[in-house]
Amino acid sequence: MKNSYSSIINSYIEKLKEQLKNNLEMIYIIGSSATEDVVVNWSDIDTIIVLKEYNYDNIEKIKKVSNSYEIKIGNTIYSKKEFENRFIDPKTYYYLYLYNSNILDIIYLNKDLIIPKITYEECVSATRIMLFNDLHNLKRLLTYEMLSKQQLKTMYKKLYVIMKSILIINGKTPKNYKETFEMFSKEFNYEYFDYLKFIENFRNDNISIDYMKRYSYNLIVYVTDMKLN
């Protein structure tokens, strides 16, 4: 892992191993922080964590370690039983598919943990559920007369996950924001969403709400007109 977040990620993993000891089964770094495409002081660190036992004390330990860093760390946490029996969310389905396909590596893994073998068909089935929910949430944002800064950031994230879902359904495997926006634009000859410009404008309080609404509306119409069979 050679991006600017490497030292934080390595430190985080060591602290979790120290705090959780034999209760820790897996740490899987996903998203932009798993690649060389982080945006410094913007990108979060996203993880999937598997514990031998899901209990309150372990969750508190993870929370305490996560909050000790300035960078936001988001954790999706499962017990070993949940994980091995596939009681997992669509995002986890996808990243396990990437692992099974040798596209991303798991950074810490107990050899006794059974990694579910996720097929492409299973991944698509889980992704469709997420897609319909995200489309609905984006439509809801369009009904608001005014949008807060946080709501605009949510809108940006919904654009990302919707495009990513469409790409997955069409057999592509984007790993982060950069790949998703570039791949969607190229694959469908669609207007490129300049996410770096959005981040810059967000930081400078200079986002065009009208542009975000129109772009979101056009994407909703485009996606709902697609044949997703």
What's the pLDDT at 5? Answer: 82
Name 177's Cβ contacts closer than 8 Å, sequence gap at least 6: 32, 37, 160, 195
The residues facing 29 across adjacent strands are 47
Residues 141, 218: Cα–Cα separation, whole Å: 14
Q: What is the mean pLDDT of the chain?
A: 93
User: Taking the CB of residue 56, how many other CB atoms lie within 10 A of it?
Assistant: 7
Q: Do the bridges between strand 73-79 and strand 45-51 make them parallel or antiparallel, or are there none, so unpaired?
A: parallel
pLDDT above 70: residue 228: no
- Evaluate if residue 167 carries a pLDDT over 70: yes
Sign of CA dihedral 218, 223, 224, 225: positive
Q: Hey, what's the torsion of the CAs at 40, 181, 143, 130, to 10 degrees?
A: -100
pLDDT value, residue 120 = 93
pLDDT at 116 over 50: yes
User: Diameter of the chain by CA atoms?
Assistant: 53
3-state SS of the chain is CCCCCHHHHHHHHHHHHHHHHHHEEEEEEEHHHHCCCCCCCCCCEEEEEEECCCCHHHHHHHHHHHCCCCCCEEEEEEEHHHHHCCCCCHHHHHHHHHHHCCCCCCCEECCCCCCCCCCHHHHHHHHHHHHHHHHHHHHHHHCCCCCCHHHHHHHHHHHHHHHHHHHHHCCCCCCCHHHHHHHHHHHHCCCCCCHHHHHHHHHCCCCCHHHHHHHHHHHHHHHHCCCCC
CA pair distance 92, 72, nearest whole angstrom = 19
Bridge-partner residues for 50, per DSSP? 26, 78
Averaged pLDDT for residues 39-50: 91
Q: What is the pTM of this model?
A: 0.91
pLDDT greater than 90 at residue 184: yes
Residue 181 has pLDDT above 80, yes or no: yes
Q: What percent of the chain has pLDDT over 70?
A: 97
Give pLDDT tens digits for 66-103: 999 989 999 999 999 999 999 999 999 999 999 999 99
pLDDT score of 4 more than 70: no
Q: What is the pLDDT of residues 18-33, one digit of tens each?
A: 999 999 999 999 988 8
pLDDT value of residue 18? 96
C-alpha Rg value of the chain to the nearest Å = 18
For residues 34-55, average pLDDT:
89
* In the predicted structure, residue 40 carries a pLDDT above the cut 90: no
Q: Is the pLDDT of residue 3 over 70?
A: no
In the prediction, which pLDDT does 229 show?
Answer: 52
